[in-house]
């Protein structure tokens, strides 16, 4: 694996904990110094000479989702578990550290805090 490409992709979780919120996707695509996951993936893809269509064929991930990852439009993606799989596939196809990519994705797109709900239906009846 190319050391420069991997170094640009490396993620330091401790360094990102106290940063300001990420820019909007539009601002992210206009900023050449953007260090988001999407910008890193796109730069690695372009450096490898692959088109989105080629990467889609390699990863079996639809180009619409690959584009959403590159642009940081995470709300377009399906459920979180599938999205993490797409990130792994994208990074793996480019020879990047898959686990590192998933950690960056989790950092940039944290799991929505879902409050605990009381049991309902049959489970509630069994508790009585």
Q: In order of start, what are the domains of the chain with their CATH numbers?
A: 3-111 (1.10.260.40)
Would you say 17 and 110 are in contact if contact means Cβ atoms under 8 Å apart?
no
Q: Token pair for residue 117?
A: 């709900």
Here the tokens at position 6 are 């991997």
Give dist(CA 23, CA 30) in Å, integer: 10
Low-confidence residues in the chain, pLDDT < 50: 13-30, 32
* Model pLDDT, residue 123: 56
* Dihedral sign from CA coordinates of 78, 61, 53, 89: positive
How far is it, in rounded angstroms, from Cα 111 to Cα 115?
Answer: 12
Structure confidence at residue 10 (pLDDT): 61
Residue 119, C-beta contacts closer than 8 angstroms, at least 6 positions apart: 127
pTM listed for this prediction: 0.64
């Amino acid at each position: 694996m190319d050391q420069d490409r991997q170094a640009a992709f490396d993620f330091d979780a401790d360094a990102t904990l106290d940063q300001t919120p990420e820019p909007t996707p539009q601002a992210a695509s206009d900023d050449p110094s953007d260090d988001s996951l999407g910008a890193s993936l796109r730069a690695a893809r372009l450096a490898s000479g692959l088109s989105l269509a080629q990467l889609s064929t390699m990863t079996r991930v639809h180009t619409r989702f690959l584009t959403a990852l590159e642009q940081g439009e995470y709300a377009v993606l399906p459920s979180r578990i599938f999205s993490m799989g797409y990130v792994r596939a994208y990074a793996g196809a480019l020879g990047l550290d898959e686990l590192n990519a998933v950690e960056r994705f989790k950092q940039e797109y944290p799991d929505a805090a879902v409050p605990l709900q009381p049991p309902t239906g049959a489970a509630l009846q069994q508790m009585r």
